[in-house]
Amino acid sequence: MRNRRIGFAHERELAVKLWRKGFAVIRAPASGSKTKRIVYPDIVAIKNGYVLAIEVKTTHGEKPIYVPAHQVEKIKEFIKRSGGEGFIAVKIIGSGEWRFLRINDLIPTRKGNYKIDKETLTKSYRLSDLVSIVSGNKRLDEFLNT
């Protein structure tokens, strides 16, 4: 139960950060609930017509992060219905930094889940990058070359 409370706290922290950057934000606390037939991400953030569906994860260091396939599939279903973009948000514990990876950039494992390694995390977007994207300052593909 303690881990879930800590996870909820990180979700709330990200929701507040996004709100302060001008996003309309909804946090959907559904872990362990009885809404198994409805799929939605941890956070939905909307700004300037962009819908971001976000699943929240944390890491303490350089260990890979594994994302269960069902969590990726629920984001894919949500973005299909909403016309949005799907992201995994990773809080790097200790630094306080948030990084964002597009769902399509995740590395599939042999067992059908997904992995985020250190290199992929290093190349991911910062919160300021997302703000630039939705503000029309840069396109997603422009960040790939920086």
- The pLDDT tens digits for 37-94 are 677 899 999 999 999 999 999 988 778 899 999 999 999 999 999 999 999 999 998 8
Query: 52's torsion region: left (phi>0), alpha (psi -120 to 50) or beta?
Result: beta
Both structure tokens of 127: 């919160």
* pLDDT confidence band for 16 (50 / 70 / 90): very high
Catalytic choice (31, 33, 124, 128): 31
Domain 2-145 has CATH 3.40.1350.10: yes
pTM of the model: 0.84
Residue 31 appears among annotated catalytic residues: yes
How do strand 50-59 and strand 85-92 relate by DSSP bridges? parallel
The amino acid that residue 34 corresponds to is K
